[in-house]
A and B are shown apart, each in its own frame.
Chain A
Amino acid sequence: MSDILLKVEKLETWLGDGDRPVRAVDGVDLTIRKGETFALLGESGCGKSMTALSIMRLLPPVGRIKGGQVLLGKTSLLDLPEYAMREERGGRMAMIFQEPMTSLNPVLTIGQQIGEAVRIREGADKKTRDQRIIELLNSVGIPDPARRVHEYPHQLSGGMKQRVMIAMALAGHPELLIADEPTTALDVTIQAQVLTLLKELQQKTGMAILLITHDLGVVSEVADRVAVMYAGQIIEVADAKRFFQQPQHPYSEKLFQSLPDSNKRTQRLAVIKGTVPALNQTFTACRFMDRCHRAFEACHQAPGWTQLQSDEGVRCHLAGQAAHWLPDQKQVQSQQPVDEVGRQSPLLDVKDLKVHFPIHKGIFKRIVGHVKAVDGVSLAIAPGKTLALVGESGCGKTTVGKGILQLLKPTAGLVAFESDELTQLSAQALRKRRADLQIIFQDPMASMNPRMLVGDIIEEGMRAQGVARSSTQRRERTLQLLEQVGLPEDSASRYPHEFSGGQRQRICVARALAVDPKLIICDEPTSALDVSVQAQILNLLKSLQQSRGLAYLFITHNISVVAYLADEVAVMYLGRIVERGAVEQLLTEPKHPYTQALLSAVPLVDSEAKRAVIRLEGDMPSPANPPAGCHFHPRCPVAMAECQKAYPELRALPDGRFVSCFKVQEGL
Chain B
Amino acid sequence: MIAYIIRRMFYAIPILLGVNILTFVLFFVVNSPDDMARMHLGMKRVTPEAIENWKSERGYDKPLLFNASSQGVGQLTDTIFFNKSLKLFQFDFGSSDSGRDIGYDISQRMWPSLAIAIPVLVIGLMVNITYALLIAFFRATYIDIWSVVLCVVMMSISGLFYIIGGQYLVSKLLHLVPISGYDTGLSAIKFLILPVVIGVVGGIGAGTRWYRTLFLEEINRDYVRTARAKGLSEGVVLFRHVLKNAMIPILTGVVVVLPLLFMGSLITESFFGIPGLGSYTIDAISQQDFAIVRAMVFLGSVLYILGLLLTDISYTLVDPRVRLS
**CB closest residue in chain B, given A363:** B7
Given contacts A86-B232, A88-B231, A102-B221, contact A107 B248 (CB under 8 A): yes
Q: Does B44 contact A (CB under 8 A)?
A: no
Judging by beta carbons under 8 Å apart, are B222 and A120 in contact?
no
User: How many A-B Cβ pairs are below 8 Å?
Assistant: 88
Question: For the complex, what is the distance from the CA of A105 to the CA of B228, rounded to whole Å?
Answer: 12
Question: For the complex, what is the distance from the CA of A213 to the CA of B325, rounded to whole Å?
Answer: 41
Min C-beta distance of A115 to chain B, whole Å: 10
Judging by beta carbons under 8 Å apart, are B241 and A105 in contact?
yes
Question: For the complex, what is the distance from the CA of A99 to the CA of B325, rounded to whole Å?
Answer: 28
Question: For the complex, what is the distance from the CA of A364 to the CA of B10, rounded to whole Å?
Answer: 9
Min C-beta distance of B235 to chain A, whole Å: 11
Residue of A88, A99, A102, A172 with most partner-chain B CB within 10 A: A102
Chain A residues lying within 8 Å of B58, measured Cβ to Cβ, are: none
Chain A residues lying within 8 Å of B155, measured Cβ to Cβ, are: none
- Total residues of chain A contacting the partner, CB 8 A: 38
When each residue 343-371 of chain A gets 1 if its CB lies under 8 Å from chain B and 0 otherwise, what string results?
00000000000000000111111000000
Chain A residues lying within 8 Å of B236, measured Cβ to Cβ, are: 116
**CB closest residue in chain B, given A102:** B222
Q: Does A97 contact B (CB under 8 A)?
A: yes
Min C-beta distance of B40 to chain A, whole Å: 46
When each residue 80-122 of chain A gets 1 if its CB lies under 8 Å from chain B and 0 otherwise, what string results?
0001001111110011010100111111100000001100100
**CB closest residue in chain B, given A361:** B325
Min C-beta distance of B238 to chain A, whole Å: 13
**CB closest residue in chain B, given A60:** B220
Chain B residues lying within 8 Å of A61, measured Cβ to Cβ, are: 140
Which of the candidate stretches B115-123, B262-270, B314-322 sits at the interface with the other chain?
B314-322
Residue of A99, A116, A120, A360 with most partner-chain B CB within 10 A: A116
Q: Does A154 contact B (CB under 8 A)?
A: yes
Given contacts A106-B320, A107-B320, A108-B244, contact A168 B230 (CB under 8 A): yes
Residue of B227, B230, B236, B240 with most partner-chain A CB within 10 A: B230
Question: CB within 8 Å of A: which of B100-130?
Answer: none
Chain B residues lying within 8 Å of A94, measured Cβ to Cβ, are: 229-230
Chain B residues lying within 8 Å of A360, measured Cβ to Cβ, are: 325
Judging by beta carbons under 8 Å apart, are A103 and B3 in contact?
no
Q: Does B89 contact A (CB under 8 A)?
A: no
**CB closest residue in chain A, given B7:** A363
Chain B residues lying within 8 Å of A90, measured Cβ to Cβ, are: 229-232
Q: Does B56 contact A (CB under 8 A)?
A: no
Question: For the complex, what is the distance from the CA of A97 to the CA of B228, rounded to whole Å?
Answer: 12
Min C-beta distance of A157 to chain B, whole Å: 15
When each residue 1-18 of chain B gets 1 if its CB lies under 8 Å from chain A and 0 otherwise, what string results?
001001100100000000
Chain B residues lying within 8 Å of A99, measured Cβ to Cβ, are: 222
Q: Does A652 contact B (CB under 8 A)?
A: no
Judging by beta carbons under 8 Å apart, are A97 and B7 in contact?
no
Judging by beta carbons under 8 Å apart, are B229 and A107 in contact?
no
Main secondary structure of the interface of B (DSSP, over half): helix
Q: Does B223 contact A (CB under 8 A)?
A: yes
**CB closest residue in chain B, given A83:** B233
Min C-beta distance of A105 to chain B, whole Å: 4
Min C-beta distance of B229 to chain A, whole Å: 5
When each residue 164-191 of chain A gets 1 if its CB lies under 8 Å from chain B and 0 otherwise, what string results?
0100110110000000000000000000
Q: Does A647 contact B (CB under 8 A)?
A: no
Question: For the complex, what is the distance from the CA of A116 to the CA of B7, rounded to whole Å?
Answer: 41
Partner of A106, one of B223, B230, B325: B223
Q: Does A152 contact B (CB under 8 A)?
A: yes
Chain B residues lying within 8 Å of A278, measured Cβ to Cβ, are: none
Question: For the complex, what is the distance from the CA of A165 to the CA of B227, rounded to whole Å?
Answer: 11
**CB closest residue in chain A, given B231:** A90
Min C-beta distance of A164 to chain B, whole Å: 10
Question: CB within 8 Å of A: which of B210-230?
Answer: 220-223, 225-230
Chain B residues lying within 8 Å of A58, measured Cβ to Cβ, are: 225, 228-229
Question: For the complex, what is the distance from the CA of A117 to the CA of B227, rounded to whole Å?
Answer: 9
Question: For the complex, what is the distance from the CA of A108 to the CA of B319, rounded to whole Å?
Answer: 10
Question: For the complex, what is the distance from the CA of A171 to the CA of B244, rounded to whole Å?
Answer: 23
Judging by beta carbons under 8 Å apart, are B230 and A105 in contact?
no
Given contacts A106-B321, A108-B244, A116-B240, contact A89 B222 (CB under 8 A): no
Judging by beta carbons under 8 Å apart, are B241 and A89 in contact?
no
Given contacts A99-B222, A107-B244, contact A363 B10 (CB under 8 A): yes
Chain A residues lying within 8 Å of B95, measured Cβ to Cβ, are: none
Question: For the complex, what is the distance from the CA of A120 to the CA of B3, rounded to whole Å?
Answer: 44
Chain B residues lying within 8 Å of A91, measured Cβ to Cβ, are: 231
Partner of B228, one of A87, A89, A171: A89
Question: For the complex, what is the distance from the CA of A647 to the CA of B220, rounded to whole Å?
Answer: 47
Given contacts A363-B7, A363-B10, A364-B7, contact A108 B228 (CB under 8 A): no
Residue of B7, B222, B240 with most partner-chain A CB within 10 A: B222
Question: For the complex, what is the distance from the CA of A368 to the CA of B7, rounded to whole Å?
Answer: 16
Question: For the complex, what is the distance from the CA of A108 to the CA of B320, rounded to whole Å?
Answer: 8
Q: Does A435 contact B (CB under 8 A)?
A: no
Question: For the complex, what is the distance from the CA of A102 to the CA of B325, rounded to whole Å?
Answer: 24
Q: Does B245 contact A (CB under 8 A)?
A: yes
Min C-beta distance of B49 to chain A, whole Å: 54
Chain B residues lying within 8 Å of A120, measured Cβ to Cβ, are: 230-232
Given contacts A97-B226, A152-B321, A364-B7, contact A105 B245 (CB under 8 A): yes
Q: Does A56 contact B (CB under 8 A)?
A: yes
Question: For the complex, what is the distance from the CA of A171 to the CA of B231, rounded to whole Å?
Answer: 11
Question: For the complex, what is the distance from the CA of A511 to the CA of B174, rounded to whole Å?
Answer: 75
Question: For the complex, what is the distance from the CA of A120 to the CA of B240, rounded to whole Å?
Answer: 14
Partner of A172, one of B6, B231, B325: B231
Question: For the complex, what is the distance from the CA of A105 to the CA of B223, rounded to whole Å?
Answer: 5
Judging by beta carbons under 8 Å apart, are B232 and A107 in contact?
no
Chain A residues lying within 8 Å of B225, measured Cβ to Cβ, are: 58, 97, 103
Question: For the complex, what is the distance from the CA of A94 to the CA of B226, rounded to whole Å?
Answer: 10
Residue of B220, B232, B248 with most partner-chain A CB within 10 A: B232
Given contacts A58-B228, A90-B229, A94-B229, contact A107 B140 (CB under 8 A): no
Min C-beta distance of B90 to chain A, whole Å: 23
Question: For the complex, what is the distance from the CA of A548 to the CA of B227, rounded to whole Å?
Answer: 54
Min C-beta distance of B9 to chain A, whole Å: 10
Min C-beta distance of B205 to chain A, whole Å: 25
**CB closest residue in chain A, given B247:** A107
Question: For the complex, what is the distance from the CA of A88 to the CA of B233, rounded to whole Å?
Answer: 12
Partner of A103, one of B6, B222, B231: B222
Residue of A91, A108, A171 with most partner-chain B CB within 10 A: A108
Question: For the complex, what is the distance from the CA of A117 to the CA of B140, rounded to whole Å?
Answer: 28
Question: CB within 8 Å of A: which of B241-281?
Answer: 241, 244-245, 248
Question: For the complex, what is the distance from the CA of A18 to the CA of B151, rounded to whole Å?
Answer: 28
Judging by beta carbons under 8 Å apart, are B320 and A152 in contact?
yes
Partner of B241, one of A97, A108, A165, A364: A108
Judging by beta carbons under 8 Å apart, are A116 and B222 in contact?
no
Question: For the complex, what is the distance from the CA of A291 to the CA of B161, rounded to whole Å?
Answer: 67
Chain B residues lying within 8 Å of A60, measured Cβ to Cβ, are: 220
Judging by beta carbons under 8 Å apart, are B226 and A116 in contact?
no
Chain A residues lying within 8 Å of B220, measured Cβ to Cβ, are: 60
Residue of A106, A152, A169, A364 with most partner-chain B CB within 10 A: A106
Known: A60-B220, A97-B225. 11 other contacts (CB 8 A): A89-B231, A90-B229, A97-B229, A99-B222, A104-B223, A105-B223, A105-B241, A106-B245, A116-B227, A116-B240, A172-B231
Interface residues of A (CB under 8 A from B): 56, 58, 60-61, 83, 86-91, 94-95, 97, 99, 102-108, 116-117, 120, 152, 154, 165, 168-169, 171-172, 360-365
Q: List 11 A-B contacts (CB under 8 A).
A: A56-B229, A58-B225, A89-B230, A90-B232, A94-B229, A97-B225, A103-B226, A105-B227, A168-B230, A171-B230, A363-B7
Closest 4 A-B residue pairs measured CB to CB? A90-B231, A102-B222, A152-B320, A90-B230
